[in-house]
């Protein structure tokens, strides 16, 4: 038992990890149930192991601190008897993206933690997530499934920017390598989003959620085209990963609540990616493009949150006591 109370930041990050990993467990359980390739199944098994110990460790910490344990997601949010919805290569792609987002989230969580046991916890999750990502990429490379960043010829000498023309919105110079990496990664994540929306649209029985997923698919496809066209303007071939990893299964697999929550996580991640890309891009037109597309994601995410609230599916994070409300009750 630690005699130092958790900070608000530590509670918030632990709560977030519990909710998101409890969701991941249900998705990974279904992946493990339907995976056919032995190597890919091993990656899924490791991802599932990490997600399960994260939720159990957070639960233990919350019990020790006498904090309410979040509801999160459970076996009622997945139908393990449903036919195969995603082909095995998609499982690798999903875990690859989960590994990237997880590494960033665990690193941030470690950076804002002060209590030793919490720092040790996030240090362990960071290391395990990095190892999972490497395992995932190694298997994808061995099977010829990993989509590599474009290879380009670069200058032979170091150069310095000579004037504001380099940044001008009216002069579309060729892309630099920093801009290429962000365009490339955002194409990959949008292709994943397109596949997820396709799968969710065809397996939900709710007209409202089906329409929301179709809209998400259209947004992802549009963004892939925008980024791909920018590549082509610099005579660079955009990544050509397959978006055909969804089967024709139309049986219900995941609960509507889980599907909508995952979309809210993906939307938030997308906005973060675009914000980072906008800051890193030295071509002014790219920065404007990212900001414009980010606004579109923000509106989509807001509508998703409204659906979650409407159906009472959105669990509330721990918050500070409302002192004014306590005073009101005392007066009564």
Give me the chain's average pLDDT, please.
91
Q: What is the second-level CATH architecture of the domain 1-146? A: Up-down Bundle (1.20)
Task: Quick: pLDDT tens for 109-154.
Answer: 999 999 999 999 999 999 999 999 999 999 999 999 988 888 777 7
Q: Is 123 within 8 Å of 131 (Cβ atoms)?
A: no
Query: Which pLDDT does position 245 carry in this prediction?
Result: 93
Q: Is 98 within 8 Å of 24 (Cβ atoms)?
A: yes
Among the ranges given (57-71, 95-109, 217-231), the one the predictor scored with the smallest mean pLDDT: 95-109
Which regions of the chain carry the CATH code 1.20.1260.10? 1-146, 164-320
Whole-prediction pTM: 0.91
* Nearest residue to 106 (alpha-carbon basis) of 54, 57, 49: 54
Element (H, E) at 55: helix 38-64
Q: Is 6 within 8 Å of 122 (Cβ atoms)?
A: no
Q: Which residue has the tokens 């109370």?
A: 5
Task: Quick: pLDDT tens for 167-178.
Answer: 666 677 889 899
Phi-psi region of 290 (alpha: psi -120 to 50; beta: other; left: phi over 0): alpha
Task: Quick: pLDDT tens for 10-36.
Answer: 999 999 999 999 999 999 999 999 999
Under 8 Å CB-to-CB from 29, ≥6 apart: which residues?
A: 48, 75, 78, 80
Query: Can you tell me the distance from the alpha carbon of 187 to that of 112, in angstroms, rounded to the nearest whole number?
Result: 30
* Nearest residue to 228 (alpha-carbon basis) of 194, 201, 271: 194
Class of domain 164-320: mainly alpha
């Amino acid at each position: 038992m630690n005699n130092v109370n958790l900070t608000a930041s530590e509670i918030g990050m632990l709560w977030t990890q519990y909710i998101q990993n409890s969701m991941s467990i249900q998705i990974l359980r279904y992946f493990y149930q339907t995976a056919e390739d032995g190597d890919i199944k091993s990656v899924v098994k490791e991802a599932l192991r990490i997600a399960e110990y994260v939720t159990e460790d957070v639960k233990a910490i919350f019990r020790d601190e006498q904090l309410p344990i979040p509801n999160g997601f459970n076996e009622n949010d997945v139908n393990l008897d449903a036919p195969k919805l995603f082909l095995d290569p998609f499982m690798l792609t999903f875990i690859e993206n989960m590994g990237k987002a997880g590494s960033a989230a665990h690193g941030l969580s470690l950076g804002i933690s002060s209590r030793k046991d919490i720092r040790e916890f996030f240090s362990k999750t960071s290391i395990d997530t990095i190892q999972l990502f490497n395992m995932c990429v190694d298997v994808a490379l061995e099977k010829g499934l990993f989509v590599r960043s474009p290879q380009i010829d670069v200058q032979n000498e170091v150069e310095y920017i000579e004037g504001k023309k380099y940044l001008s919105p009216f002069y579309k110079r060729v892309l630099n390598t920093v801009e290429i990496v962000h365009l490339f990664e955002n194409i990959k994540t949008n292709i994943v989003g397109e596949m997820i929306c396709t799968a969710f649209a065809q397996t939900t029985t709710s007209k409202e959620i089906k329409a929301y997923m179709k809209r998400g698919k259209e947004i992802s496809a549009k963004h892939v085209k925008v980024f791909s066209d920018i590549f082509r303007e610099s005579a660079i071939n955009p990544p050509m990963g397959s978006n055909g990893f969804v089967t024709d299964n139309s049986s219900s697999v995941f609960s509507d609540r889980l599907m909508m929550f995952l979309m809210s996580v993906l939307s938030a991640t997308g906005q973060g990616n675009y914000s980072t890309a906008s800051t890193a891009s030295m071509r002014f037109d790219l920065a404007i493009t990212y900001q414009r597309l980010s606004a579109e994601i923000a509106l989509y995410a807001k509508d998703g949150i409204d659906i979650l609230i409407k159906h009472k599916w959105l669990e509330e994070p721990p918050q500070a006591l409302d002192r004014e409300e306590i005073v009101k009750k005392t007066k009564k």
